[in-house]
Amino acid sequence: MKKTLVILILIFAVAGSQSVKAQQQPLYSQYMLNDFLLNPAIAGTTTYSPIALTARQQWVGIDDHPRTIALSGHTFLGRNDEMGAGGMIYSDVFGPIARTGVMGTYAYKIRITNKTKLSFGLSLSAFQMKFDESDFNIIDDNDVAFTGAAETKMVPDANFGMYLYNEKYFVGYTTAQMFQFQVKINGATDLSRMIRHHYILAGYKFTMNDNLKLEPSLMLRTTEKTSMQVDINAKVLYKDNYWLGISYRTGDAFIAMIGLKADRYFIGYAFDYTLSNLSDFTYGSHEFLIGYKINKQTKGKTLI
């Protein structure tokens, strides 16, 4: 069914959610299982090469709600595991606006101590921005601002990240959409500029006993257009094969997560219970993740 532009604007004008105001970047809840989605410096920091597929339905119940799917993977390179490389293919659709893109990543690691490393990563990407007016019922059919057609633009961009880590803790920083290109859609640029996003993610790994581990973490997210949003996370692992997680995203959602690992496969599910004014319109958000770990590293060997 076609929707009116007026209704779409009103819903999000009253929502007051940070996630609505800054939905230029895909929103993920299970980044603790696949933090490469947020930080290019993660590439090559594990002793295996993970490939993961993430699918997200956000704010289910709202017409044309955000829908994201991303296929990502990364691996280590070099004789001494000093480099990493990765890539991602993704599609992110929100109402009439769709982004479909590819991204390639290179990372380099330096040793700080015997157990701690610092990784630097750079991702270069290209995506197609599509604005589809065909789904609108315009009140004034003679309004020349809306043609009822789809308009597309190709946009290059880049992300940069740093990641300090060892077996006990990690601290990472990412700046996304570095180029801040203005995308002219329907002749307008003010509302279509790619805004630079900043992320800080930190966590610590506690070993409770032989079977249980606790991993609390914190993620800060901000842009020049929005105030800071904070994710407070905790994940409990049982025998490294099963996990439960909870998260609170300030001003937006409470999140419950569950997952398991079977051999080299791992799967996860997250449900976001919306806390903002959008809760009057949505049943929540669902996110699924499935992955596979390949090419487990052995001493003295490399993938190239």
pLDDT of residue 156: 95
90-137, pLDDT tens digit by residue?
999 988 889 999 999 999 999 999 999 999 999 999 999 888 766 655
pTM for the full model?
0.86
Q: Which residues contact 249 (CB under 8 A, 6 or more apart)?
A: 19, 229, 230, 231, 255, 272
Give the DSSP letter of residue 279: G
pLDDT of residue 291: 98
pLDDT of residue 248: 98
Share of the chain above pLDDT 70, in %: 81
List the domain boundaries for the chain. Answer: 3-294
pLDDT of residue 301: 41
Q: List per-block mean pLDDT (blocks of 10 residues) for the chain, which spans 304 residues.
A: 43 47 80 96 95 97 93 93 96 91 98 97 95 64 59 93 98 97 66 86 97 98 92 97 97 97 95 91 95 70 39
pLDDT of residue 13: 44
Look at domain 3-294 and name its CATH class. mainly beta
Using H for helix, E for strand and C for coil, what is the string for the chain? CCEEHHHHHHHHHCCCCHHHHCCCCCCCCCCCCCHHHCCHHHCCCCCCEEEEEEEEECCCCCCCCCEEEEEEEEEEECCCCCEEEEEEEEEEEECCEEEEEEEEEEEEEEECCCCCEEEEEEEEEEEEEEEEHHHEECCCCCCCCCCCCEEEEEEEEEEEEEEEECCCEEEEEEEECCCCCECCECCECCCCECCCEEEEEEEECEECCCCEEEEEEEEEEEECCEEEEEEEEEEEEECCCEEEEEEEECCCEEEEEEEEEECCEEEEEEEEEECCHHHHCCCCEEEEEEEEEECCCCCCCCCC
